[in-house]
Amino acid sequence: MESGNLNLPPKPLIKEPNNLGFGFPVFLLSESVVFLSFFVTYSILRWKSAQWFPVGVNGLDLTRAGINTVILISSSGLIILAERALKQRQLKLFQGFWLGTISLGIIFLFGQAAEWAAMPFGLDAGAAGGTFYLLTGFHGLHVLTGVLLLFYMYWRSRQPHNFAQGHAGVSAIALFWHFVDVIWIVLFVLVYLWPS
């Protein structure tokens, strides 16, 4: 007498769900909480401080930061165009806009590095120095991560038939890039536009 389930029909194939659509927004939400805690801490410290900047420093380089802001917002516009091109199956156009986004991200990072090099105070300049470098550095790390992810997705776009099963990865990276841009706008308002 044979035992087992030899006569049972095979189990139906179950398509695994794409968890990227749920997991990635949850990741961004957790990152938002981290940035929010930094922004609240910065605001409390700044509000309670009679003299925020070190002696002899009246404020930050608003012009350079404004240019960086325009660059980052423009990169968000390019990534929107890249996504639209991909949805219309225009791969070369997608790649062009995607490379444009990468380029603007790199230019932003160089602009940030130039600002750091020209800063009239360092990390050791009290709360102003500590919070400035922490906020802009942590954001810069996110921009660098975004640029690396953009490079990776560009490399994947060069592989034949890469987007045959959809392009959830492109959407996730684009969402991350928009997140980085929104965080920068909040940072710009708090750190650069707050009156001295």
CATH code: domain of residue 122: 1.20.120.80
Q: CB of 183 within 8 A of CB of 142?
A: yes
Question: What is the count of structural domains for the chain?
Answer: 1
Q: What's the pTM value of the predicted model, to 2 decimals?
A: 0.84
In a domain, 42, yes or no: no
In a domain, 165, yes or no: yes
Higher pLDDT, 139 or 19: 139
Residue (of 65, 67, 84, 102) closest to 177 by Cα position: 102
- Domain with 164 in it: 60-192
The Cα 53–Cα 128 span in angstroms is 6
pLDDT at 130 exceeding the cut of 60: yes
In a domain, 168, yes or no: yes
In a domain, 23, yes or no: no
Higher pLDDT, 16 or 87: 87
Residue 76 CB partners (closer than 8 Å, separation 6+): 177, 178, 181
Ranking 3-17, 37-51, 91-105, 145-159 by mean pLDDT, the lowest is: 3-17
In a domain, 98, yes or no: yes
